[in-house]
Structure 1
Amino acid sequence: MALRLGNQRSFPWHTGPASARAPHAAASGRARLSGRLRRGLRRSLHAGAVSLALFLVAAAGTDQRAIGSDYNAYQASRLFAAGYNDIAKIYIEDVALPALALDGVHALSSLDDDIRVARTDGEIVVRLDGRRIGSYHVPGPRDADAWGAVTAGVIDLALRSSDALAGYSTEDIYARVFDGMLARLDGYSRYAGADAARENRASRDGFGGIGARVHARDGGIAVVSVRAGSPAAHAGLMAGDMIVAIDGSSAAALSQREAIDRLRGHVDSRLALTVRPQDGPTTRTLRLRRAHIVPKTVDARADGRLAVIEISGFNQDTAHALEQAVADLDARMGDRLAGYVLDLRGNPGGLLDQAVDVADLFVRHGRIVSTHGRHADSHQYFTARPDDVGDDRPVVVLIDSGSASAAEIVAAAIQDNRRGVVVGSLSYGKGTVQTVLRLPNRGELTLTWARFHAPSGYALTDRGVTPDVCTSRHPDTALNEVLAALTDSRRADTRAGDPLPRAGDLAADAGAPAAGCPGRPGGSAADLAVARRLLTDRTLYRSVSADAPAIAQAAQQ
C-alpha cells in the first residue's frame, strides 16, 4: 500500500506523538523519514554521480554496435543508484548491495541466454556466448552510486553486443533487472515502471476523470456504470450509452488503455463526448469538466435492521466514505438500526493511515496498531481518539483468507479492543508495511519498511487474525447447523470437534491458528447469517464478544 507522493522523491510518514495521525502512511504504507535522511538521499543522488568510464577496465572493441533503443546509460545509472540507495536505507533488513546488484545483472541472461555476468578477482566480467566483452572494477560494498553506474554499464555493454537484447525496450530491461535484484527481498517489494506506477497512483490517490467505468469495443466505448455525483452523471451520461467520439475524434478503434487515457486528464479540464444512447441511433453531445475521482471502496446498504458496509480496499477516500455511509444509514434507519457489519472479505489492504482512521471511527480508546522495522523512524504507535461514529452499537467484522494488511489492522483493532466480534475464517497474514518511493524514470519502488503488531502485541505476519466465530470448519450447505451451534455456544465445554469453534476453543492451538480455523477464500454463506444472529441477539453478542481477545492473548505466549 502506498502514500501519495509529490513530484519529488519523498517519504510521507508521521513522526509525531503516538496519538496523532500518519497523514498518508500506507498499510503496505509509505513512510515519512526524518529531514536528515531525506537530505542524505538527495545528496547521494547528485547528477552524474559516478562516471561509467571509471569502472570500465576493458571492452572488446570487436562485434560491438550502436544501441538502437532509447537506452541512456547516464539515466540508467541514476535510476539504479536511486534503487540501491533506497534499499540500503529503507528496507526492513540490511541487504548486501553487491549481491543485490549481481542478482540484477544476472537477470539479463533471461533475455539472452548467451549473456553471462560473474564476479571474479575484484572484477565483474561480462561474457557473450563465452567471449569476454568487458569488465568493471568491483565498487565498495556500500557505494550505491557506484553500483548503479556498474549496473547501467553492464546493460549498456550487453545492448551493444547482443542482437537478442535489441528486441526489448529500455523499460523491459529495467523491469527484468529490478525483478532480478528484488527477488532477494521479500515478496512484497517490487518495481513498477512509469505506466504501471501511474495506474497505482490513480488507484491510491485518484485522478482527473469523468466518473464512469467504460469498456472499449468495436464501434466505440461502452459505458458500464456512472458514479453518482460525478461529471458524467451531471452531464446525463448513462450506463449502456456508447461514446462514439471524444473531442470530435472517433473512438471506434481505441484500445481500452487509449480510451481511459483520452477520458482522463487534468482536473477542471474540459472535454466533449459524442454519445449514442442504448435505445436509439441518434447521437448527442455532452460537455463535461473533469473532476478529481477517487476509486470507490465503500458500498453500504440496509439489510433489515443491519447496516452492511462492504470495504473493498483502503485508498485516500475510504475513511471519509465510510463515515459518510454510517451517517446516511443512521439517518435513514434511526432506532431500527441494530448494528453494523463491516465486510472485509477479499479486501487486499491499502493505505495504513486509512486503516487506522477506519478502526478509529469505531474504537473509542486504546491502541489501534504499532509498526516496527530496522530504521528508527519505523517505530510508530497509533492510538484511538475518544469518539465512536457507531454510537456504541454492536459491530461484526467479516474476514476470510483474502482479507490482508490494512483489512487485518482493522479486524485486529476491533477485536483486541473488545469493540466487536470477528466472524469468518483465518485472514491472510500480511503483517508488513511497504513504502512507495518515486524513481527518476517516474516509476516506483515499493519496499517493505516495517512489520505491524495488533494492539495486544502479536505480529500478524504469517499468522493473520483468527476470528472469534469460525465458519470455515463447517460446509456452507449446513447453515442451519452452524446457526444452531452459535445459539448453543454459551455452553461451558465447547470442544475442538464442534462445528462452530470460537476464540476460547482455539486459544490452546494459537501457535497454529490455521489448524483451528482454516482460511477460506470468498468467505462463507454462513458469515452474514452469523452476523445477523449476533446483532439481533444482544445476549449472544455479549457472550461471544467477551471471548474476543482470547486468541490474541494466547498468541503472545
Structure 2
Amino acid sequence: MRLRCLTPLLLLSAWSLPSIAQERPEPAPAELSEATGDERVDPDETGTPAVPLDEIRRYVAVYNAVKQAYVEPVEDADLMQSAIRGLLLDLDPHSVYLDKADAEDFDDNARGAYEGVGVELQRLPDGTLQVIAPIDDTPAARAGLRAGDRIVAIDGEALQADESDSSAPLRGAAGTQVRMTIEREGRDTPLEVTITRETIRITSVRSRMLEPGYGYVRVAAFQADTASDFATQVDALKSQAGGQLRGLVIDVRSNPGGLLTSAVQIADELLEDGEIVATRGRLAISDASFSATAGDRLGGAPVVVLVDAGSASAAEVLAGALRDNDRARVVGSRTFGKGSVQTVLPLDNGDSVKLTTARYYTPSGRSIQAQGIVPDVVLKAENGEGAPVRPTFSEASLPGHLQGDDEALAGKNAGEVLDGTRYIDAALAELKRAAATAAAPSR
C-alpha cells in the first residue's frame, strides 16, 4: 500500500478528530541500494529516512518462519495487517492504524453524528478501554459512565490486547443494546451497565444565564460548527443581558477535544491580539502558529474557564490561550495533559494511519504534554460521603505516553473529575470577583 497523500489533519483530542487537509504530491517508492557497509533503502526525494536492509531481512525471516511453521495456516493479508499495526503499537497511545470502517467513523465523529453510546475512549495496551469522557446528553452520560472508568468486557467477552479503533466495539445500530463490565476507582467490584445505542448527534455548545448579566456556555467537544455556535450563543446571552455581559463562564469539563481550528476560532472571538497556540514537530509542515485577529466579542468582560481532569487537548489549547494572554482565569482541576498533535495519513486502499507528528505549545511557549494546565483556582472533588477523591486520571497515566518537558508524576499530581453544578457556582463566584475588580475605580 502507498500513501495516497501526506495530509496533515491536525487532531487535538484524547481520541483525535480529523481537521484540515492539504494535498501534497505522492512520494515516489523507495528503491533498494546495495551500498557497502550499512545497507539501507535510499531516501526518496521527499527526504524520507533510509531503512537498514538488515532490519528488512530480519522481518522477512520472521515472516517466513510464521508462514512455514506456525501451528495453523495464517493468511498473508492477516500477517501484514498485524505487522503494520505493530509498527505503531509502541510509539505512543495516540498513534494507531485505522481500517477503512474506522477511518469513516472518524469522519462521522467530526460531523457530530454516528450510531453508538456516546463516549470518548482510549484503548490501553491490555485491550481495555479507558473512558476519557462521556458526551453530554448521550446514552453513556445518562447511564452514569464517568471519566476514568475502565471498560474491561463487552457483552460478557473480556477485552483482549489488539489495536483496533478504540470506539469500534461500542458502535452498532441504533436500538441495539450493549453490556459493559466497568472497573471504577474506589469500587471493589466491577459494575455491569447495559446501554441502548442511539444515533448520536452531538450538540457541542449550550448556554444559559446564571444570574442577570452573567452568562454560561458549555462546550462539550470541538467540532466543525462549534466556533460558529459559540458566537451565536454568546450573542444571544448578550441580548438577554441588554447588550453587554458582565462576565462569562466557559465550561470545558470532560471535553476530550476535537478540531484544533474550532478551539483557535473560539479563542480568537475573545482576544484582541496575541498568539493562540503553536505546534512544533520534526517536519516543517508540522510547524504552525495561530494568532488572534482584532475584535473581542465580549468587549473585555471577564471570562472564567472551568476545567477538570477530563479536559483534554483542544480544550487545553483554549484554556491555555486565554490564560496566557491574561484574558481569562482558569478554575477547576489540573487538566488531562494531552499536548500532542496527530496527523491522519490516508492510504490508497481506504485505510489510514493516525500518527503523532507534533507537540503544541501555549502562548507562553510551554508544552503541557503529560502535565496539564494547573488552574488559577483549584477545586477539589469529593465522593458521596464528602471525602476527597484520590486523583489518578491523566495523560501521564497512559502507558507509553510521550514524556513531558517537566512531567507530573502519574497518580500523584493528576487532576480530578469534577461532576455537578456546585463547580459552576464556584466558577461564577470567581467570575464575580473578577468583574468587581474590573469595575473598581483605579487609584
Matched ranges for 1:67-78 at <5 A: none
Among candidates 26, 49, 53, match of residue 11 of structure 2: 26
1:163 aligns with 2:72: yes
Percent of counterpart pairs with the same letter?
A: 30
Aligned partner of 2:58 in structure 1 is 119
Q: What letter is aligned with 2:313?
A: S
Query: Could you tell me whether the CA contact under 8 Å between 2:230 and 2:266 is conserved in 1?
Result: yes
Aligned residue in 2 for 1:344: 252
1:541–1:315 distance in 2 versus 1, CA, 3 Å: farther
Contact 1:300-1:325 within 8 A present in 2 as well? yes
Question: Which residue in 1 is equivalent to 2:431?
Answer: 535
| Counterpart amino acid of residue 163 in structure 1 | E
Q: Are the counterparts in 2 of residues 349 and 404 from structure 1 also a CA contact under 8 Å?
A: yes
Written as runs of structure 1 = structure 2, the 5 A alignment for 1:107-506 is 119=58, 126-128=64-66, 133=68, 163=72, 165=74, 176-205=82-111, 257-258=172-173, 295-305=202-212, 306-334=214-242, 337-472=245-380
**Alpha carbons 2:332, 2:377 under 8 Å: kept:** yes
- CA deviation after TM superposition for structure 1 residue 307, in Å: 1.9
CA apart distance, 1:438: 1.3
Secondary structure of 1:350's aligned partner: strand
Q: Which structure's CA Rg is the greater one?
A: 1
Give the distance between the partners of 1:365 and 1:469, measured in 2 at CA.
25
| Counterpart in the other structure of 1:219 | none
For 1:18, the equivalent position in structure 2 comes to none
Q: Would you say the 8 A contact 1:175–1:191 is kept in 2?
A: no
Identify unmatched segments of 5+ residues in structure 1.
1-6, 14-24, 51-80, 103-117, 134-157, 216-223, 226-254, 261-292, 480-509, 544-557
Instruction: Say whether the 8 Å CA contact 1:297–1:311 is kept in structure 2.
Output: yes
State whether residues 202 and 294 of structure 1, in contact with CA within 8 Å, keep that contact through their aligned partners in structure 2: no
Contact 1:341–1:395, Cα closer than 8 Å, also in 2: yes
Aligned-residue offset at 1:349: 1.0
* Equivalent pair of 2:255/2:315 in contact (CA under 8 Å): yes
CA gap 1:520/1:173 in 2 versus in 1, 3 angstroms: farther
Q: Between Structure 1 and Structure 2, how many residues are aligned? A: 331
Report the CA distance between 1:478 and its aligned residue. Answer: 7.4
Name the structure with the higher helix share: 1
Is 1:194–1:443's contact at 8 Å kept on the other side of the alignment? yes
Q: Is the 8 A contact 1:340 1:395 kept in 2?
A: yes
- State the Cα distance separating 1:98 from its structure 2 match: 7.2
**Alpha-carbon separation, structure 2, partners of 1:182 and 1:203:** 22
Q: Which digits, 9 at most, give the CA deviation of each residue in 1:465-505, with x for residues without a partner? A: 110101128889879xxxxxxxxxxxxxxxxxxxxxxxxxx
SS in 2 for 1:447: strand
* Change in 2 beyond 3 A, CA 1:164/1:524: farther
Q: Secondary structure at the match of 2:231?
A: helix
Work out the CA distance in 2 between the residues paired with 1:98 and 1:396: 56
Q: Summarize the Cα distance change of 1:294–1:524 in structure 2 as closer, same or farther, 3 Å threshold.
A: closer
Change (3 A) 1:176 1:362: same
- Equivalents in 1 of 2:385, 2:303: separation in Å? 26
Contact 2:267 2:318 in 1 (8 A): yes
**Residue pair 2:207, 2:218 contacting (<8 A) in 1 also:** yes
| Matches of 1:542 and 1:44, distance apart in 2 | 61
Equivalent residues of 2:8, 2:286 under 8 A apart: no
AA in 2 matched with 1:119: R
Give per-residue Cα distances to partners, 1:274-318, cap 9 Å, x unaligned. xxxxxxxxxxxxxxxxxxx97431122222233221111111111
Contact 2:7 2:346 (C-alpha < 8 Å) held by counterparts: no
What is the alpha-carbon distance in structure 1 between the residues aligned to residue 378 and residue 50 of structure 2? 40
Alignment deviations for residues 428-479 of structure 1 (CA, whole Å, 9 cap, x no partner) = 1111111112122212211111111110111111121110101128889879
| 1:9 aligns to 2:15 (yes or no) | no
Offset at residue 512 of structure 1 (A) = 5.0
Is the 1:189–1:446 Cα contact (8 Å) retained in structure 2?
yes
Contact kept, 8 Å, 1:315 with 1:351, in 2: the verdict is: yes
Q: Which amino acid in 1 is paired with 2:344?
A: V
Q: What SS class does the counterpart of residue 466 from structure 1 fall into?
A: coil
**1-side partners of 2:425 and 2:384: how far apart?**
11
* Contact 1:399/1:422, CA 8 A, preserved across alignment: yes
Question: Does structure 1 retain, via aligned residues, the 8 Å contact 2:381–2:418?
Answer: no
> Which stretch shows the higher mean deviation, 425-434 or 524-533?
524-533
5+ unaligned residues in a row in structure 2: which ranges?
33-40, 119-136, 139-169, 176-199, 388-405
Contact 1:316 1:351 in 2 (8 A): yes
Matches of 2:52 and 2:47, distance apart in 1: 7
Question: Could you tell me which amino acid in structure 2 is paired with residue 536 of structure 1?
Answer: K
**Aligned equivalents of 1:295, 1:11: Cα separation in 2:** 26
- For residues 82-112 of structure 1, give each alpha carbon's deviation from its aligned partner in whole angstroms, at most 9, with x where no partner exists: xx99x995xxxx796779x87xxxxxxxxxx
Q: Distance in 2 between matches of 1:294 and 1:356?
A: 23
Counterpart-to-counterpart distance in 2, 1:430 and 1:534: 26
What is the TM-score when the length of structure 1 is the normalising length? Answer: 0.51
CA contact (8 A) 2:4 2:348 kept: no
Query: How far off is 1:30 after superposition?
Result: 5.6
CA 1:204–1:515: 2 relative to 1, 3 Å:
closer
Instruction: Check conservation: 1:348, 1:403, Cα contact below 8 A.
Output: yes
SS at match of 2:64: strand
Cα distance, 1:193–1:333 mapped onto 2, change above 3 Å = same
- Superposed displacement of residue 396, structure 1: 0.7
CA spacing shift, 1:178–1:525, aligned 2, 3 Å: farther
TM-score (normalised: structure 2): 0.63
